[in-house]
Amino acid sequence: MNIPFKPPVRTMADLLHRLGDVPPDRVRFTPVPGTATIDDLLRAENEGCELIEGTLVEKSMGVRESLLAIYLGELLGPLVRGQNLGILTGADGTYELISGLVRLPDLAFVSWDRLPNRRLPEEPVPNVVPDLAVEVLSAGNTLGEMARKRREYFTAGVRLVWEIDPRARTVRVYTSETAFTDLTATDTLDGGTVLPGFTLPLNQLFAELDRHG
């Protein structure tokens, strides 16, 4: 069977490499890779998938990753809502960055200026590009996958990307596809020009992983 990619993909290895060397068990074959649409993405059985070149790819997820993303959203919320800067969305927030490319950042901030009529979109998959995209790295994420994702984010117009590594307890702050700063648990994360006034000592964020009853 010829998979309809341009340039052509001839083998499964080619397909996986093109997607960022993702494990094969994350690639859905219904519908056939290269033919999936946003309607396919929105079917209930495809929850938690991203749409990449007509291919449904499951997101790599975990409880610890979800915990950090939700907590970070709680910390960003007072600034975003208090100053009415825009909206925050979680891991179910779907964004069509360019035609046919849908990503689900673990957390995203979108300023009102980027939203049509400065209002919350009604479409389930709006053609909207976040100002900030946050990815909390799971064990199943690959270097190639994250490199591709960063390239797509910045090409589409994302201004800031935070990659949070729960295992290493580090944050890599990207201001472009190639320009980044590495932070450890002893450093402070700030919102830069995207979320001025936001600061977060990272030992506070990562302490959430140690909380217990």
Q: What are phi and psi of 190, to 5 degrees?
A: -130, 165
In order of start, what are the domains of the chain with their CATH numbers?
Answer: 12-58 (no CATH), 63-207 (3.90.1570.10)
Q: Could you list the pLDDT tens digit for every one of the 213 residues in the chain?
A: 445 567 778 899 999 999 999 999 999 999 999 999 999 999 978 889 999 999 999 999 899 999 999 999 999 999 999 999 999 999 999 999 999 999 999 999 999 999 999 999 999 999 999 999 999 999 999 999 999 999 999 999 999 999 999 999 999 999 999 999 999 999 999 999 999 999 999 999 999 999 999
Number of Cβ within 10 Å of residue 109's Cβ equals 26
> In the prediction, which pLDDT does 3 show?
52
Beta partners for 27? 57
Residue 191, SS3? Answer: strand
115 Cβ contact partners less than 8 Å away, ≥ 6 residues apart: 86, 87, 121, 128
Sort 171 into a burial class: Cβ within 10 Å, 0-12 / 13-18 / 19+: buried
pTM of the model: 0.94
Q: List Cβ<8 Å contacts ≥24 apart for 123-128.
A: 124/42, 124/94, 125/38, 125/41, 125/42, 125/94, 125/95, 125/96, 126/94, 126/95, 126/96, 127/96, 127/99, 128/95, 128/96
> In the prediction, which pLDDT does 167 show?
96
Query: d(Cα 61, Cα 77) in Å, to the nearest integer?
Result: 23
